[in-house]
Amino acid sequence: MLCKSVRNNAFWVMMVIVGIVTLIFSVTIYKNILDAPHNVHMLMGMFTGLGGAFTVVGFVKLIRHKRTSAEKLKEEEIELNDERNIQILRIAYSVSSKVATILFILMAFTFVWLNYIIPALISIGAMYIQLLTFLISHRYFNGNM
């Protein structure tokens, strides 16, 4: 569940590995494809930033997990599993989902206004995927509870 803390070091190690691989991949592609269009270079720059962020966050979490005492980690886990905190987190997810839907709608209208049909269709498609995900998860959790 998204409400629980990730205490498993394997997750953070995997995040560091994925970050390093993404970083190496993007820098290699950027250096080897010199005559590529500007958007490919921009995409490789975005992948470089993403790989760097994954690597740094993974290392910071691993170092923090090693340096924090076991009782402090247990206390944090108990606090994260508290019903009130779980309810607050679910409300925050609900609000952010509604805001994301409104932003997808605004983006679609803006792209149509600017005569960018493909990005408008992508925004509408993302909105429908978000709606479909909500409906499937609602039906699933409603049936399990």
DSSP 61-120: HHHHHHHS-HHHHHHHHHHHT-HHHHHHHHHHHHHHHHHHHHHHHHHHHHHHHTT-HHHH
pTM value is 0.63
pLDDT at 6 over 70: no
The span from the CA of 145 to the CA of 43, in Å, is 43
- Cβ neighbours for 29, distance < 8 A, ≥ 6 positions apart: 40, 44
pLDDT tens digits along 49-90:
999 999 999 999 899 888 888 888 788 777 777 788 888 888
Any idea which residue has 């498993």 for tokens? 8
What's the pLDDT score for residue 138? 84
Range 107-117 average pLDDT: 92
What's the pLDDT score for residue 121? 92
pLDDT at 14 over 70: yes
Confidence of residue 22 (pLDDT cuts 50, 70, 90): very high
Confidence of residue 1 (pLDDT cuts 50, 70, 90): very low
The span from the CA of 123 to the CA of 44, in Å, is 23
